[in-house]
Amino acid sequence: MTTMPTTFFEWVFFLLQQYGGIFVKGAVVTLLLALVGTFIGCLIGFVVGLIQTIPVGPNTGAGKRVFYKIVRWLLDAYVELFRGTPMIVQAMVVYYGSMSVFDIDMSAMFAGFLVVSINTGAYMAETVRGGINSIDPGQTEAATAIGMNHYKTMRCVILPQALRNIMPQIGNNLIINIKDTSVLNVISVTELYFSSKSAAGVYYKYFEVFFITCVIYFVMTFTVSRILRWIEGRMEGPRDYQLVTYDPMHDPCGHFPLPTIKKEQEK
Amino acid sequence: MEQDKRILQITNLRKNFGDREILKGIDFSVDKGDVVCIIGPSGSGKSTLIRCINFLETPTSGDIYFKGENVLAKYNDLSLYRTKVGMVFQQFNLFSNMSVLENCMVGQTRVLRKDKESARQTAMKYLYYVGMADYINAKPHQLSGGQKQRVAIARAMALEPEVLLLDEPTSALDSEMVGEVLSVMRELAEAGLTMIVVTHEMAFAREAASKVIFIDQGVIAEEATPEVIFKNPANPRTREFLSRFNQNN
Ligand SMILES: Nc1ncnc2c1ncn2[C@@H]1O[C@H](COP(=O)(O)OP(=O)(O)O)[C@@H](O)[C@H]1O
Ligand SMILES: [Mg+2]
């Protein structure tokens, strides 16, 4: 029979030994929820942001225009609704609502992933829209002028730049999600906060347990924040460039362009 | 035959922005090998006109014929037409996420669907031509204005267009860089490329143009050879514009 711990650190050590596995499991679930939720949220955000920035000009047909209008109205409603209500309430509504209204018995975990994803999606939609709009329209014009359509322009020119610009925002969302998935305890998702609460209840050691929880949350967010900063640095690319010496005589295309143009004009 | 030489024909082109009529019925034609310089006071509609030619702006009415065929009737997808009518912008508008070489390849690979190697070769050909072959790895923000504009010209030329449109290609440049861009344009003109150039570089217009068009308040006020426009303009407004212009420069 081991003697019961007395000091704060003894308790922390004891609780770690007793519930280490539960903490780890909780942390893993939290990370999974945050990572998957942010990832799917980003996908949703990109799709919504893209649809909202499709140019509607005087050449767009009337039917198409009405269609875009309806779709955009729905997407706007989605964004406003999910930005304008707390995630904790969304979790309750989705989880219990799906059960009582639609008779769908989704697992709490699934409801958790769903809520985090669509919640993040609503925020990311606005971020992506801003990211796209921040790119100088001159580049879109240049792309149009070399014959690229809207899709190709987005894919090759605008989105790569927008993505780079909104990386800090994505990171922010991921960190917020690591912390805010704790609200999913209300539908009994066994993430870190929920697990901690269960562990704390056994010996009524709330302070000691949540001290450990606090450290785990911070380690997770801090690590993620550093990794993201490193990725951002990588995306910047090299700061300088190497000159290359180009000798047209040693290139398979090493003929001089001047006569070529002339020939084309003459034929 | 006369008809084969004609590469662009613009008839009764009008453009409104809201209820303001910016272009009030423009007619002119461009033959193969022509260098048409468009001059005129700022706000007179020069950019709007040149942007209508490749449909960056949709004309309110009027027609554009490319090699005898009505563009809107023939090309239901304007992409193909735009690859034949290149454009160079005042603000360069290079793709900032791409290197110099990629800027000159992306249109070839994505629009013309050429394979990478032949796209690279064509890109190198024109980059060499504009004197930027050594800079293929640079990103646009690492270049000077003159270098950017030369890359922009190479990007447009890499699609081997039949007409090149240039909208004040030297207006955003510091004066010491104007020369390098103008000399590329002179070489292109000498090589026989068909060009429509909106410019304030009267010396260039005088030497290189086969025809000068003076636009004032949305109409062509005068269209003539450079000799006539610069030495003996028929329209008093042309004379006034040029003399005011010479005072300011
Ligand atoms: N997208 C637009 N919307 C409304 N007015 C415009 C637009 N583009 C140009 N204009 C107006 O059209 C007129 C001609 O412009 P522009 O063709 O750029 O002149 P220029 O190139 O000869 O200086 C100007 O008065 C300008 O304000
Ligand atoms: Mg202009």
**Ligand 1 midpoint to CA B150 (Å):** 26
With the C-alpha atoms ordered B220, B224, B228, B230, is the resulting torsion angle positive or negative? positive
Q: Kindly state the average pLDDT of the residues A107-133.
A: 92
Specify the pTM.
0.86
Q: What does CATH list as the number for A21-236?
A: 1.10.3720.10
Distance of CA A76 to the CA centre of its chain: 19
Determine if ligand 1 sits within 6 Å of the CB of residue B108. Answer: no
- Helix ranges restricted to H, A61-107: 62-83, 87-100
pLDDT on residue B205 = 95
Instruction: Quickly state the pLDDT bin for A261 (edges 50, 70, 90).
Output: very low
Among B93, B139, B157, most A C-beta atoms within 10 A, so best to mutate, is B93
Distances (CA, A) of B158 to A139, B2, B129, B140: 17, 29, 11, 17
- All residues of chain A having their beta carbon less than 8 Å from the beta carbon of residue B139 are 237, 241
pLDDT on residue A262 = 43
pLDDT on residue A10 = 83
pLDDT on residue A247 = 67
CA distance A217 to A23: 11
Average model confidence (pLDDT) across chain A: 85
Q: What is the pLDDT of residues A164-207, one digit of tens each?
A: 899 999 999 999 999 999 998 989 888 898 888 888 888 787 88
Instruction: Quickly state the pLDDT bin for A256 (edges 50, 70, 90).
Output: very low
CA torsion angle B67 B72 B77 B82 (round to 10): 50
Among B97, B125, B135, most A C-beta atoms within 10 A, so best to mutate, is B97
Query: What are the boundaries of each domain within chain A?
Result: 21-236, 241-267
pLDDT on residue A249 = 58
- All residues of chain A having their beta carbon less than 8 Å from the beta carbon of residue B136 are 244, 246
Q: Is B150 exposed, middle or buried (0-12, 13-18, 19+ CB in 10 A)?
A: buried
Angle at B3 between CA B1 and CA B7, to 5 degrees: 125
Q: Which of A58, A244, A261 sits opposite B191 (nearest CB)?
A: A261
Tokens of A26: 């909780």
Whether B191 sits inside 8 A of A148 (CB atoms) is no
Mean pLDDT by 10 residues, chain B (249 residues): 81 95 96 96 96 94 94 90 96 96 97 95 94 94 96 96 96 93 95 96 94 96 95 93 81
Polymer length in residues for chain A? 267
| ipTM > 0.90, yes or no | yes
Q: Under 8 Å CB-to-CB from A129, ≥6 apart: which residues?
A: A48, A49, A52, A53
CA atoms within 13 A on the CB side of A109: 10
Whether A146 sits inside 8 A of B89 (CB atoms) is no
Res. A253: pLDDT tops 80: no
Q: What is the pLDDT of residues A69-106, one digit of tens each?
A: 999 999 999 999 999 999 999 999 999 888 878 877 77
Res. A264: pLDDT tops 50: no
User: What is the DSSP-derived secondary structure letter of residue A3?
Assistant: P
